[in-house]
Structure 1
């Protein structure tokens, strides 16, 4: 996902890598403030725990979401945020530390019941769950939500398409906007209003993770109008939209039809949730420090300019440095010359000074030099470095040798993308640009807004080819906590699509595609885990991905923020289901 998840299988590793920090209980800190406000406290505990109802939680974001429609989003922060108004079949437990990686039933009564061959999965929905207009939520609403989100790229192109890939007949079904038959896709059965059955085309042991996707949040067919649905989303959660101004703001208020008896995981403490978009990222930081807002919705941490303010003095106790379970990398598109030549790609691999990239992004608090696509906290990670350079500072001689082999001894010109509202990413792109100049590669930086980065620009092959976007900035976290959940949508040829794509390299290697398919079908967990590390090496051998940084988030929590804890299920940001206001 556009920066998303880590692995349940490495919960113990996470506890160590996060320093097992500050796991004290309640009480008062040195300044007499309530809660356990210590540095890194939110990594393993709930800071400023409270049962107080009321108040307003306020978020700001430096750009716009790809969409707040749960069925049309691929950003991790939206999937975290959308749990306030959309209930999914399963979800990640709102809890501190490793408990937050546990998948628990949400709209469903229990986790899925698989057939012996793991090709059929059955869920029973809780009774008594209603939409905001008082109509009951049924299994048909969940089925329809999956159909619209996975099978209608002409209207909803931002989200993943796992259901389309793994449901029987998924390659033939045209989606609900073209196929008007009432039965929809036959491989999702709804024998009654509270039962939904999925028939898959191959074994899929990770299906309960797939059921956590916001795409399983129910949508009433009669209220859906495709891409316009975001203007009037029908809530199944504790909050509903009071207002929505596209590109500007949204306000959520209590949903009177939400019944806490049917929802064991949400306390829904705030009366109101507000979010504003297109706020300068440094302004967002300043508003956090002055306690004017509750959290930065993006969840990626403060900007480099803000770091000195929060890492020293009294403010340090309000920070949490979390591993994001994500890798920042450079995608080299194989259909944009000269990157159709592997030696030109290898020249970039050796030319880049990765340490300068880390420094540009904010140094150690923002991450470590990356040498693999899989980050160390994801199941299947294997330590290796295919394109090692001294001190991770690049190797000019090797880069120039590769340039000779690709027929460009004097270098070449290309374009390098970055998201305009992410200063750290722009700074990283500048560091890459400077390193490439040393070997004769001239890269012009093209900036695009993050909200449309994938739907209109970097994720649209026709646009990429036409505008010669040879090198594209990318950050990725696991769609769910396994190596497959990290790799599939960014290296599988089947993930290439007309818009909203994440395989920015347009890598379509038959051996890699086959290894992914066979790996997820393997019921031997140890062998399956081994496969993900092997695929990582295969990808690096293609030289299409330049790993840059294993991402960390330097998060800041204002004193008025209550029930604050980091969730590794959503890329090391704060858990928005738990968060409330102490004001």
Structure 2
């Protein structure tokens, strides 16, 4: 998700971008209101377990809701039903959002007194060294961060630090020694209460990067365990209002109050409920039944089934809430690294054939229809500065053009078509969407083998394993992406997915790179005129789509639902969900 701010800070791109590009928020009935109360248990229901509990490596939007409860960052956001409030950057661990200095190259943050870790030996004040330690962890060789590319070449000295980390044995003792024995020159921690970042170039979106979970502080004791290992999870050190008391993989997780948390040091989290109980392994229909009956309160990773959504909308259910997030979901990655079919997918005409073959309108119907989702043709979703209406591979009513696709396959030397593998998550509407994609591709001469993958494993173990990509375990794969911050967030779409400088990116599955697009992106990041920024990013979008390495399919709205017991339902922008740390329960 993208976020912006209205505080008087010299971030030209984003301060003005909001007025031009923020998306609208609408409600189907009013969100639950009423005075907040303390106490009770909030019951969260979902399909898949968390991807990572370690903030460094967590990447799914749903994980942001969990980590909001058990971690803090220098910068975060106020949960609100009002989008103009929800997308303003706020001081979290930092006392305020600072003005940049030295021509936009320096940012100094003062850390709040009383912001504590629940360290093994008791509450301990978070310091500037903990902030730097968290940044250092991003490039650990055991389990790095998908956000690394934002920071590595932007923070002075971080590229050198990470280059050295590559050669370290990926064991807890060796990584701890390296982290504690080497500094990032662009992070000054000489004052425990102040951390100063020095950048290699001005970046109007740096403040927003520090809201990412990967930028969370790390306690020194957490380095005694390999990142996100079972031991790390069992000994989790929280900086938020809750901490993990029990986790049964693929079944449940229980969060209880963190006794080290100081309410006076946290302006963004009220921590109204006493306990948060997560239950995994449920199907969407069962979750919705429990929410409507009051046996559950909120969803974790559930998409409301279209039939149920129609019923709730027709009834004017006041517990529905709809918002946009700039996401593109789903879109297809095309595997240009596999040697399947003699490397056929490395042929541009074959990739163009896939573009023309897919029935995007049918995918939109699977998501609930045009009121819920729109056909998508570029890498930037609605609300991202750089989104514009263009269609490089037009088909009648966006329903696909199988004859044009067949002709392109024949020109590429495959008149009899191709057999390709497509994995999909066995979650929500994704099996039906996979079958829809399969049907349209087969009309164009492709033979599609569908490969079901468990939801918890799809990204964390299947798609992000480069051996699966190079080994040809997939040829095309549906994925989704939500920007990491709002408004001027095109960098958070482009950089982690569509750039490659020799260092593999977690979610750039095929090491895609376009030097011309990179050059335009660099201009966009440093430009201050929002129209100029939008124009640069629009050109980037068109260049990436010209290479046809991905097939954008839909840009859905997010439709949320909660039980009648939930009060003060205020969405948290990074989680695209009601903020667990601010709702209250009235039963």
- TM-score of the superposed pair, with normalisation by structure 2: 0.88
What are the ranges of 5 or more consecutive residues in structure 2 without an aligned counterpart? 6-13, 166-174
8 A Cα contact 1:356 1:431, kept in partner: yes
Alignment of 1:45-444 (within 5 A): 47-98=32-83, 99-132=85-118, 133-148=122-137, 150-157=138-145, 160-173=148-161, 174-175=164-165, 176-177=175-176, 179=178, 181-224=180-223, 225-227=225-227, 228=229, 229-298=232-301, 301-313=303-315, 316-328=317-329, 329-336=331-338, 337-420=343-426, 422-444=427-449
Instruction: Give the equivalent residue in structure 2 for 1:492.
Output: 499
**How far off is 1:549 after superposition?**
0.6
The verdict on how the C-alpha distance between 1:70 and 1:180 changes in structure 2, with shifts beyond 3 A counting, is: closer
8 A Cα contact 2:94 2:110, kept in partner: yes
**How far off is 1:180 after superposition?**
5.1
The verdict on how the C-alpha distance between 1:266 and 1:572 changes in structure 2, with shifts beyond 3 A counting, is: closer
Alignment of 1:5-84 (within 5 A): 5=2, 17-19=24-26, 21=27, 39-42=28-31, 47-84=32-69
Instruction: Give the match's secondary structure for 1:166.
Output: coil
**For 1:100 and 1:539, how far apart are their aligned partners in 2?**
31
- TM-score of the superposed pair, with normalisation by structure 1: 0.89
The verdict on how the C-alpha distance between 1:5 and 1:204 changes in structure 2, with shifts beyond 3 A counting, is: closer
8 A Cα contact 1:252 1:272, kept in partner: yes
The verdict on how the C-alpha distance between 1:496 and 1:317 changes in structure 2, with shifts beyond 3 A counting, is: farther
**How far off is 1:495 after superposition?**
8.9
**For 2:502 and 2:297, how far apart are their aligned partners in 1?**
36
Instruction: Give the equivalent residue in structure 1 for 2:558.
Output: 553
**How far off is 1:178 after superposition?**
6.1
8 A Cα contact 1:6 1:378, kept in partner: no
8 A Cα contact 1:488 1:495, kept in partner: no
8 A Cα contact 1:365 1:553, kept in partner: no
The verdict on how the C-alpha distance between 1:247 and 1:513 changes in structure 2, with shifts beyond 3 A counting, is: same
1:514 to 516, 519, 536: 519
Aligned CA-pair RMSD = 2.3
1:236-269 deviation line (CA, Å, top 9, x unaligned): 1211222223332221112222222211222111
**For 1:134 and 1:282, how far apart are their aligned partners in 2?**
42
Between stretches 198-207 and 432-441, larger displacement belongs to 198-207
**How far off is 1:226 after superposition?**
2.4
Between stretches 90-99 and 239-248, larger displacement belongs to 239-248
8 A Cα contact 2:21 2:384, kept in partner: no
8 A Cα contact 2:424 2:453, kept in partner: yes
**For 1:230 and 1:506, how far apart are their aligned partners in 2?**
31
Instruction: Give the match's secondary structure for 1:253.
Output: strand
8 A Cα contact 2:485 2:574, kept in partner: no
8 A Cα contact 2:484 2:574, kept in partner: no
**For 1:209 and 1:459, how far apart are their aligned partners in 2?**
25
**For 1:15 and 1:163, how far apart are their aligned partners in 2?**
25
Between stretches 87-96 and 355-364, larger displacement belongs to 355-364
What are the ranges of 5 or more consecutive residues in structure 1 without an aligned counterpart? 22-38
8 A Cα contact 1:346 1:399, kept in partner: yes
**For 1:235 and 1:304, how far apart are their aligned partners in 2?**
38
Q: Does structure 1 residue 502 correspond to structure 2 residue 523? A: no
8 A Cα contact 1:6 1:571, kept in partner: no
1:513-560 deviation line (CA, Å, top 9, x unaligned): 232233223344432232111111111111111111111223222100
1:405-452 deviation line (CA, Å, top 9, x unaligned): 2111221011112112x2312211111110111111111111223323
